[in-house]
Structure 1
């Protein structure tokens, strides 16, 4: 049912439970390399005996990214990486994986790539003008969301790289057999707590789709408009920087993320305002826009006061706004401000944000005519900038993430009405559901026998595997029993736990444990917080050492489990 044609009406949603042709070809080529890798470990086998082994990296922002680099490098050192068929990641781990596949032979030079990436994290510089160009271009689309701003202004700044290439470019690094097959993921914002069949979206260099529905589109067409299962409008392709933001946006609490985005938006507003309005003060249209920007600034500060629960700050910004807007005492915005101030002390946080949204949109209504006047070159840049500020804060106040044209819209073959009835779906970091991509790696067609799960998350080191067990129980997927006695060690875990079930073994490796940092688990967790934005050379080295020890100290156990699964009956 799938088609490689590019004409409208010729490209269709692929409805099938089978793996994509690209994944089949890539894993077939990889089998040859896995066979050689097993031979290096003294495990000769026939092609039909080769087991599918997966490595999973959890979320954890830059901490997870660095730790996964170290983990993969150490697996390579012991010839274990050569035996891996699939590599899956959530959130920060996807930042590592998506960077690796730019190199068609990354598994051979993982140590050099680890060193290069760590140098970039410490010494690299983010490119403000490239970020501005990318995010202003994204804001022109009706599906603009916080994911666009987060990707280009925050993830880009964290990683010191803006990767404008596209995921299908990585097909060569998969199909040559030299590397495991990568799987990235996101979840539907509306259903991730219920986790029904349409919740988990996967992304590979070949396709994007929902395995639970058996519905996919070519990755080249992710974000384009489909209707009734056919492509109707091809839109600009999503680059990897955007996807890194889509996959990795749950770095902290909603409050902390709001603060970070509001701070970045305020910086952008203050930084660029002088450049845009300098020497234009006498032009009445520019005066009006400058006035609007000052009002924007005060409202953004007012929103921060909500998050900080600062009544004094709120009062100060109310006074500034009232002094500013009283010259337009008959305007929608002035009336909205008066109503907002009267109810402020009794309103809860949500009601306050709704009032801010009403005021923000009233300002846009009042000054929309002026914005339209500034519509010809060289003034178009100012209009684009104003619209970016406006649309981004609307997304903050409505908490709009991952807006994507729904390629399942009205598709008669998609059996989940809640999903196919939407024009647009909202996709978010899968770590909010389960901080490791078990639901995708356990897709039956992938026939995975052994999972090496490296848990880089903060807090309870058993939370991800417990949630995975619950998910599998609800969805009828076989999963090993998790021993409750192990979970009693959550404050002082071992470096490796082995859970065995019917046809599946899971090796679970908590990042910080009583073996690699004895007596210092809390200290390490505090040093390497999820929302830690900058790392020194010394901190990176300390984190890499901890991650590598989990492999070095357990490589014989991993080898033993590989031998064990190869002695067990294969699934049909």
Structure 2
């Protein structure tokens, strides 16, 4: 049984096992009919080889001058892990002396196509019209030595890592003190480069060695620059000085000191040791132990509440109790305010005690983070919280930009930078939000909310964001990220970290540098990062298609022929050709796809590698929807930082964590606070779930309803096995115009209060409004509450339907 460092059992889906490594031999033979890239001469071709799962370095052949049919016949060797998705990138370049080398094309070849013990010679047909071709030989053989211990969940692989300690021992200390600076580099290690300075009163002893953490089997090399020598201009070069140490680290015996270099002035020693196999991240697709414990405790509140709401004579049995979730959408201060009203309505109906989860994004995360400061907020009426929010919503916001506040913002941003974070305008936005919504500094952190759910007394809050890539539109690349008081993670990869550790630095699943947990205002800024837009997003708001822009922003990737044709298994990738865009295309892509500002946090997936069968993993396939999913070398585990934005930049919904099968959600109360179309986010969710094969109710609304929405719709999902029951509450002003409470008509003097202009051109409730009058605030809260109370019958019907289904499933 494998345990986490805290003694808790790991998920059963995570395996710790021994897996063999193989020797891959790549012989770059020749190319034919390479088109002329230069105007005045033929190409000076060379081939670059990049296999990041096996080596930290890129290798290249020599350049053949002025030849369209170059012959290299050069051989390269790689030690590869058999359970890792190894995709070799063979890039053909035209060498230029003055300008940057021209990138002609790149071939992506999946090593899993090769059979052990066989040698094949491949002809890659790169351009059928010009008859361009690249000829490469491959061989895959067993390799001597013990197998490697890996940890995997079927999508990610954590490999064996080692810690190298480099020691400098000074032999003679001169009377005249002078500095001696040594530079050590292990490319691909967590630390990268470290410098040691001797002399000038600086002491160096065995307790302060230079340390490097690196993947043991990725052909790492220690490069040393001795005092008085210059570092080379190329990051890939290993030759610094003929007398310097340049050591392949696999040659250093584990646990023993080894002399790297001896000099009359100093000695260099190194020692390498294997790091423990336990991980500081959670690899798995099930719920964490803490959430499982919460679910057991929450039932003690949910089951009596359901009995009361449904007016049952007998207690519900454990298997009859449905999992109910309250799901919200964003909408700035409008969503913050309306959510208070919706929750007060649910509280009055006793339905809030029936809920197990509460999810949010953008503006509703501000409401949620305020509520969960009180460990028993849902056990009380919400008048106090609503009154407190009213005070901040109606106050003048200009003071937030005073000189005193600006000095405070600068001090806080400098502190975050000293902690090792990458700060941006999004952090400043979080501080501005703090001043908008609170009096003074707010020290609350997300992990503090564990006190509000430790007895199961409140629904479990889930906050959402999406991880993006700066050169891609959100439609092309986005990955769901969920935040709870217990952990933060990406369900697509099945990797999670403790909430306290989010923002810290990790390597291959091990915690390398602990960074203090962020105050929640910085997370609120990220969850509602209105400033992370790009031109493609703006275009998509007014057009249903990105086809025009994709001509300039999508990579040109084509499947290519290969001889001999190799048998392709389901988990293997087809051989593909990437043709880089020209200068105009690259410039347009930068203009269209780059985002104005983005929140970046240290990537806790850094160093992991993709499992050879990751594309066939059912969990990964459920969320597989980006253009890079079949390019394992370019997925998130290869990035230094996560790039996180407001979920609304894709779909204005926080529903995705609730569709995780392990949460088994039976009823979703969809509280919509979007601007403009109230049905758009729901339609987008239906389309997305249909494409992904996720069970979701069919939204069947008539044209009449779409033109004039009612307060609530029930979609029972009967036509879709496994789909939850969905209650959809658009934010509309329907019967509220004539009724101040369910069944209580307004008097003539009260009719004015029913005129709540939500979306008109002069509406005070714009998404970008920062301040309401007291009356505007009160009316929006009352409207949110009324729309819940006025649809009690539909809520009860949804709960009864879910209970009946649970009973039927048991039978």
TM > 0.5 fold call: yes
Return the offset for 1:491: 4.1
2:469 aligned with 1:469, yes or no? no
Return the offset for 1:399: 2.3
2:551 aligned with 1:549, yes or no? no
Return the offset for 1:221: 0.6
Return the offset for 1:3: 3.4
Aligned partner of 2:285 in structure 1 is: 17
Return the offset for 1:233: 1.2
SS of alignment partner, residue 213 of structure 1:
coil
Asked whether the equivalents of residues 371 and 377 of structure 2 are also in contact (C-alpha less than 8 Å), the reply is yes
Asked whether the equivalents of residues 531 and 596 of structure 2 are also in contact (C-alpha less than 8 Å), the reply is no
2:727 aligned with 1:507, yes or no? yes
Q: 1:459 aligns with which of 661, 670, 676?
A: 676
Specify which structure has the higher proportion of helix. Answer: 1
Aligned partner of 1:181 in structure 2 is: 460
The 1:103/1:425 distance shift into structure 2, 3 A limit, reads: same
Aligned partner of 2:482 in structure 1 is: 202
The 1:213/1:525 distance shift into structure 2, 3 A limit, reads: farther
Aligned partner of 1:136 in structure 2 is: 414
SS of alignment partner, residue 483 of structure 1:
coil
Return the offset for 1:527: 2.1
Q: 2:503 aligns with which of 198, 209, 223?
A: 223
Counterpart Cα distance in 2 of 1:53 and 1:195 = 32
SS of alignment partner, residue 217 of structure 1:
strand
2:401 aligned with 1:112, yes or no? no
SS of alignment partner, residue 598 of structure 2:
coil
Counterpart Cα distance in 2 of 1:3 and 1:113 = 39
Q: 1:150 aligns with which of 426, 429, 432?
A: 429
Counterpart Cα distance in 1 of 2:648 and 2:786 = 25
SS of alignment partner, residue 496 of structure 2:
strand
2:769 aligned with 1:532, yes or no? yes
Aligned partner of 1:330 in structure 2 is: none
Q: Aligned Cα RMSD in Å?
A: 2.9
Return the offset for 1:138: 2.5
2:474 aligned with 1:193, yes or no? yes
Spell out structure 1 runs of 4+ moving beyond 6 A.
251-255
Greater RCO, CA 8 A, separation 6+:
1
SS of alignment partner, residue 39 of structure 1:
helix
Aligned partner of 2:713 in structure 1 is: 497
Return the offset for 1:251: 7.8
Counterpart Cα distance in 2 of 1:445 and 1:70 = 30
Counterpart Cα distance in 1 of 2:775 and 2:467 = 38
The 1:543/1:207 distance shift into structure 2, 3 A limit, reads: same
Return the offset for 1:194: 3.8
2:300 aligned with 1:32, yes or no? yes
Asked whether the equivalents of residues 534 and 595 of structure 2 are also in contact (C-alpha less than 8 Å), the reply is no
Counterpart Cα distance in 1 of 2:293 and 2:306 = 20
Asked whether the equivalents of residues 466 and 647 of structure 2 are also in contact (C-alpha less than 8 Å), the reply is yes
Aligned partner of 2:148 in structure 1 is: none
Counterpart Cα distance in 2 of 1:121 and 1:522 = 19
Aligned partner of 1:404 in structure 2 is: 601
Return the offset for 1:452: 0.4
Aligned partner of 2:449 in structure 1 is: 170
Asked whether the equivalents of residues 192 and 199 of structure 1 are also in contact (C-alpha less than 8 Å), the reply is no
Aligned partner of 1:86 in structure 2 is: 357
SS of alignment partner, residue 474 of structure 1:
helix
Query: In the comparison of the two structures, how many residue pairs are matched?
Result: 433
Alignment of 1:295-334 (within 5 A): none
The 1:192/1:497 distance shift into structure 2, 3 A limit, reads: farther
2:504 aligned with 1:240, yes or no? no
Asked whether the equivalents of residues 460 and 490 of structure 1 are also in contact (C-alpha less than 8 Å), the reply is no
How big is each residue's C-alpha offset from its partner over 1:167-212, in whole Å with a ceiling of 9 and x where there is no partner? Answer: 111111112111001100100122773477x700000000000112
2:394 aligned with 1:122, yes or no? yes
How big is each residue's C-alpha offset from its partner over 1:30-79, in whole Å with a ceiling of 9 and x where there is no partner? Answer: 11100121122223311221110000111001110111111111110111
Report the TM-score when normalising by structure 2. Answer: 0.50
Aligned partner of 1:441 in structure 2 is: 658
What are structure 1's unaligned runs of at least 5 residues? 259-346, 355-396
Counterpart Cα distance in 1 of 2:295 and 2:454 = 8
Report the TM-score when normalising by structure 1. Answer: 0.70
Specify which structure has the higher proportion of strand. Answer: 2
Return the offset for 1:398: 6.3
Q: 1:485 aligns with which of 702, 705, 708?
A: 702
